[in-house]
Amino acid sequence: MNFKPLSSHVFLEPLGEEKTTKSGIVIPDTAEKEKPIKGKVLAVGPGKLNDKGERVQMSVKVGDMVLFKKYGPDEIEMDGKKYLVGDEDDILAIIE
């Protein structure tokens, strides 16, 4: 499935992390009801327009691993899989 976000919107694949306790018990990411804050960029829009009508280039690109605001992006479900869609301003950092 191809995504083509508009303006400065970004499609993200949320990435959860399994946590292991000191005793070796694995706690899956589904055990916590918090939204993930790490994801992989699947698609980016062309960027928003500035006051002069010029297109501002996006800071992220497809494939980037990013940290984003916990309650910034909206969650959507397509073909049984969950995705996040938000604005570039919801992204806090690119993980290198």
Beta strands in the chain (DSSP E): 9-14, 19-20, 26-27, 38-44, 65-68, 74-78, 81-87, 91-95
CATH architecture of the domain formed by 9-95: Roll (2.30)
What does the pLDDT look like over 41-86, one tens digit per residue?
999 999 999 999 999 999 999 999 999 988 889 999 988 888 999 9
Residue ranges of the domains in the chain? 9-95
Q: Which residue has the tokens 């018990």?
A: 25
What does the pLDDT look like over 14-35, one tens digit per residue?
887 656 666 777 666 555 556 6
Say what the pLDDT of residue 20 is: 65
Say what the pLDDT of residue 41 is: 96
Backbone angles phi and psi of 88, in degrees to 5? -55, -30
Say what the pLDDT of residue 30 is: 55
- What single-letter amino acid sits at 2? N
